[in-house]
Amino acid sequence: MIEEGSKRGKAMVEKRQLFMEMRAQNFDVIRLSTYRTACKLRFVQKRCNLHLVDVWNMIEAFRDNGLNTLDHNAEINVSRLETILSSIYYQLNKRLPTTHQINVDQSIGLLLNFMVATYDSESHGKLTVFSMKAMLATMCGGKIVDKLRYIFSQISDSSGVMMFAKFDQFLREVLKLPTAVFEGPSFGYTEHSVRTCFPQQKIMLNTFLDVLMADPPPQCLVWLPLMHRLANVENVFHPVECSYCRSESMMGFRYRCQQCHGYQLCQSCFWRGHANGPHSNQHQMKEHSSWKSPAKKLSHAISKSLGCVPIGEPPHPVFPEQAERPQELTHTVQPKPAANNMNDTMLMSSGAPTPTKSVLESPSRLDEEHRLIARYAARLAAEAGNSTQQCPPTDLSFNFDANKQQRQLIAELENKNREILQEIQRLRLEHEQASQPTPEKAQQNPTLLTELRLLRHRKDELERRMSALQESRRELMVQLEGLMRLLKDEEQKQASQSGGSPHSSPSHGAGCSMPMPIRSTSAGSTPTHTPQDCLAGVGGDVLEAFAQGVPRNLRNDLLVAADSITNTMSSLVKELHSVDDVADEEETNMRNGGDRGTARVPKH
């Protein structure tokens, strides 16, 4: 008894697990019921891994499990439903790479509990075949047009006309999905739902698709296309700042106000009804599912103006109105009913069934299938030949006229494109010719030529003066070096004459050393001329020091003289560089043909 109670409690926890996780997502804060319902059903779809199963794989799974031979009102028990779901998920894991495998047992448990809670509220333990097909075809992955085509094939007769009773049954079953996620008051079933969708009497496939894929769709099914749009924009990036939360980018939908200029909201703020500034929730908002740069918008507008982009494309391709003739499959080998052991079922990889040992047990069956395939191929070839022979000549002429019109349109577009390219090339050449300077423009301004000649002459004079100053500086450094040597010899003589006399000055003692200046690289050897020759050409503080004979600090005097020479050289270099810059600027203006006044020549 205790074990049965624990198992029963565990089963109840598993049934409520999906709904508890959905409540944890806090979808109820979404203001609009349409977005709230679509978000909840999208969460169920992803949590049960149904978004990974394409609608064509789902149809193949129905056929492999023999559901196409059962009546829509036939009932299947929960164990058979679990077997069907197991075959769907095991086939999915075979198609997925090894790094993206899903937890099959968990997916089966979540989806089974959700389907039982949705379609077996009275706990009979049975579901109808039509309710299971409608639910799985609606909640699986794939394009909405493919899903609606399959649903129409289930609710239409042999002539391709929709049966209103079948469509009413489909609405009853599919609208139980919003009720299961607690959105029944907004999207519950009513008796007038069918006539609100299709007021006319005869509904064919294209009309059915036009109504359900319109913008907006019928009110009771408005959440269905929105759920597919949510799946398409989950990874769409918008490099735009939200006007409310100030996030620098958006993911998913983007909403632009039609009244407030430049006011845009991310999907989280719009769904919760946030607004600030002059914007109000009563303003009309436009939903954007993609981002286009200004350059792409401009190119699209140009292409649209030239007629290169078709305007008003249909939301779906036009399908033939007559119903397709069902194939004769009475002699084909039907697979055995699926069991719990997946090794005994028919396996499918990439949409093509692979028979196992339980299906093909002998070579005779394989030969029989080959004969059937050859017979069908021959029949199809014969029918194709008859259809081409019976084609009236008026249809052929119409096809020829249509092809001729298309070729003429293509030729016109190619001519327009060629003219546009030629115009672009001509404008580019004109721009290049206008930007390049010509010698004639420079010769038209003699003032600039005269000024440039004077600046070059001034530059040559400054260069000659600079070379002369460098030569004098080199000679002066040689003389300074000789003077330093003479001063050192004089100090040594005074030290030797005084001997150990206490009257000697402490500043000229043997322990005092004078720092030697850095040797110039141009001085080849020590000069041998007399001190009077060394003083030739040296004025200022040095000559005055030797003339007075007063024991001054000649080292500082020599350093001051060297600093003054260095400052003179630096000022001369700066002046030379300024002249070079002015000459370069004038030469550039002359090349560009600029017309300006005569610049003043700097004075010496």
Amino acid at 356: T
Exposure of 466 in the CB half-sphere (CA atoms within 13 A): 16
Strand pairing class (285-288; 254-257): antiparallel
Summarised one tens digit per residue, pLDDT across range 409-453 is 888 888 888 899 999 989 988 888 877 655 555 555 678 788 888
DSSP state of 27: G
How does residue 168 score in pLDDT terms, banded at 50, 70 and 90?
very high
Determine the average pLDDT of the residues in 125-134.
94
Question: What is the SS3 assignment for 202?
Answer: coil
Q: What is the pLDDT of residue 356?
A: 37
DSSP state of 335: P
- Calculate the alpha carbon distances from 220 to 30, 331, 584 in Å: 19, 43, 79
Q: What is the pLDDT of residue 368?
A: 62
Task: Identify the bridge partners of residue 141 per DSSP, sorted by sequence position.
Answer: 54
Four-residue CA torsion sign, 31, 32, 33, 38: negative
How does residue 12 score in pLDDT terms, banded at 50, 70 and 90?
low
Hey, what's the torsion of the CAs at 14, 15, 21, 22, to 10 degrees?
A: 170
Kindly state the tokens that stand for 468. Answer: 């002369």
Q: Give yes or no for residue 517 having a pLDDT over 50.
A: no
Helical packing angle, 78-95 and 104-119, nearest 10°: 140
Q: Give yes or no for residue 384 having a pLDDT over 80.
A: no
Q: Give yes or no for residue 265 having a pLDDT over 50.
A: yes
- The three-point CA angle 373-379-382 to 5° equals 140
pTM, 2 dp: 0.53
Residue closest to 45 by CA, chosen among 226, 207, 188, 206? 226
How far apart are the C-alpha atoms of 410 and 404, rounded to whole Å?
10
Whether 162 contacts 155, CB under 8 Å: yes
- Calculate the alpha carbon distances from 124 to 20, 83, 219 in Å: 24, 18, 32
Q: Give yes or no for residue 325 having a pLDDT over 50.
A: no
Kindly state the tokens that stand for 438. Answer: 């010509």
Determine the average pLDDT of the residues in 473-490.
84
Q: What is the pLDDT of residue 555?
A: 63
Is the bond into 515 cis (omega within 30 degrees of 0)? Answer: no
Question: What is the SS3 assignment for 534?
Answer: helix
| 220-239 b/e (C-beta count within 10 Å ≥ 16 → b) | bbbbbbbbbebbebeeeebe
How far apart are the C-alpha atoms of 541 and 504, rounded to whole Å?
26
Q: Give yes or no for residue 71 having a pLDDT over 50.
A: yes
Summarised one tens digit per residue, pLDDT across range 169-218 is 999 999 999 999 999 888 988 888 888 888 877 899 999 999 999 988 99
Amino acid at 497: Q
Determine the average pLDDT of the residues in 275-297.
86
How far apart are the C-alpha atoms of 280 and 263, rounded to whole Å?
11
Tell me the three-class secondary structure of 282-320, residue by residue. Answer: CCCEEEECCCCCHHHHHHHHHHHHCCCCCCCCCCCCCCC
Contacts of 289 (CB under 8 A, 6+ apart): 229, 232, 233, 236, 253, 254
Kindly state the tokens that stand for 453. Answer: 């000649």
Question: Helix-strand-coil percent breakdown of the chain, rounded to 5?
Answer: 60, 5, 35
